[in-house]
Amino acid sequence: MQDRGWIDLHSHVLPQLDDGSESVEMSVAMLRRMAEQGVGAVCATSHYYRQQNSIETFCARRADALDRLLVNLPEGLPRILPAAEVAFFSGISEKPDLGRLCIQGTRTLMLEMPFSDWTDLQVEEVSALVLDRGFSVVLVHPERFCSSKGNRQKLRQLEELPVSLQVNAGTLLHWMDRRVGLNLLREAPIPLLGSDCHNLTTRPPNLKEGRKIVIQKLGSAFLDKMDENAADLTRQTANATT
Ligand SMILES: [Fe+2]
């Protein structure tokens, strides 16, 4: 299905599932803010931590949260694509049913790497997800891991696969972080932008502001390319759940 408006690939908009939206009312207000910003579809990437939930339990909780939201959803708000922000865990490359955590109907896996220094083994597992399991891996907010020189080098290795890099819009809005965010978008084989919104105050929907910076600094053709990337990665595919 073709959505009108932009795709926000990263949000914590589902109610009471993680540290994002605290209620159905807050979720609706967040979706309203997104719609005002021109967002037509949003990936609901609630945190998935293997130590907290099985994939089965997570998907059931996510479906319940989505149901509670959809019955209260006014018309005209962004379409919600169930997904997950999957925190890396040891053995992830061999985990069955991982496809259920992808953006629904796709092979796109939104992956949050560890906040510590990455090991060679971890890089190998990401490679296996791409090359052996056939996932389109999106590394979310890589800018958060770049203070480590070792991680920057490993990120270069991962870019060879290739993987997508999804920079947070908020990173581009803070002048101290902007350069890092823009450089990552420039070097990414598949650059992407997401809001990673959690609420309406400290981490609000801000895709529009981020897009403005991309146009100013990287040009409108670059933004168009990012929109194409987002459309490709959210397009429905066959065998999405293996
Ligand atoms: Fe997130």
Q: How far is the CA of 113 from the centre of ligand 1 (A)?
A: 11
DSSP 144-160: GGTTSHHHHHHHHHHHT
Query: pLDDT tens across 17-27, in order?
Result: 999 999 999 99
pLDDT score for 242? 55
Ligand 1 midpoint to CA 1 (Å): 25
240: in domain: no
Predicted TM-score of the model (pTM) = 0.95
Domain count, the chain: 1
With tokens 């870019």, the residue in question is: 159
Residue 241 in domain: no
Structural domain includes residue 242? no
Q: Is residue 155 part of a domain?
A: yes
Please report whether residue 239 resides in a domain. Answer: no
- Of the candidates 57, 52, 58, 49, the residue with the CA atom closest to the CA atom of residue 14: 58
Give per-residue pLDDT as tens, 133-186.
Answer: 999 999 999 999 988 999 999 999 999 999 999 999 999 999 899 999 999 999
DSSP class of 206: -
pLDDT of residue 70: 95
Give backbone dihedrals phi and psi of 73, rounded to 5 degrees, phi first.
-95, 120
Separation of 12 CA from ligand 1 center, angstroms? 6
Mean pLDDT calculated for residue range 14-18? 97
Q: Distance, CA 124 to ligand 1 centroid (Å)?
A: 23
C-alpha 22 – ligand 1 centre gap (Å): 15
Which parts of the chain are beta strand (E)?
6-11, 39-48, 79-87, 108-112, 136-140, 164-168, 190-194
Q: What is the pLDDT of residues 187-240, one digit of tens each?
A: 999 999 999 999 999 999 999 999 999 999 999 999 999 999 999 999 988 666
CA of 96 to the centre of ligand 1 (A): 23
Q: Does residue 104 have a pLDDT over 80? A: yes
Protein residues with C-beta less than 5 angstroms from the ion ligand 1: 85, 196
Domain with residue 157: its CATH number is 3.20.20.140
Domain extent at residue 163: 6-234
Q: How far apart are CA 15 and CA 96, in angstroms?
A: 27
Residue 196 CA, ligand 1 centroid: distance in Å: 5
Centroid of ligand 1 to alpha carbon of 148 (angstroms): 20
> How many Å lie between the centroid of ligand 1 and the Cα of residue 150?
23
pLDDT of residue 236: 86
Which DSSP category does 88 fall into? P
The pLDDT tens digits for 56-66 are 999 999 999 99
In angstroms, what is the span from residue 139 Cα to ligand 1's centroid? 11
Cα(95) to ligand 1 centroid in Å equals: 21
1 has pLDDT over 50: no
Query: Does 112 fall in a domain?
Result: yes
In a domain, 1, yes or no: no
Residue 85 lies in a domain: yes
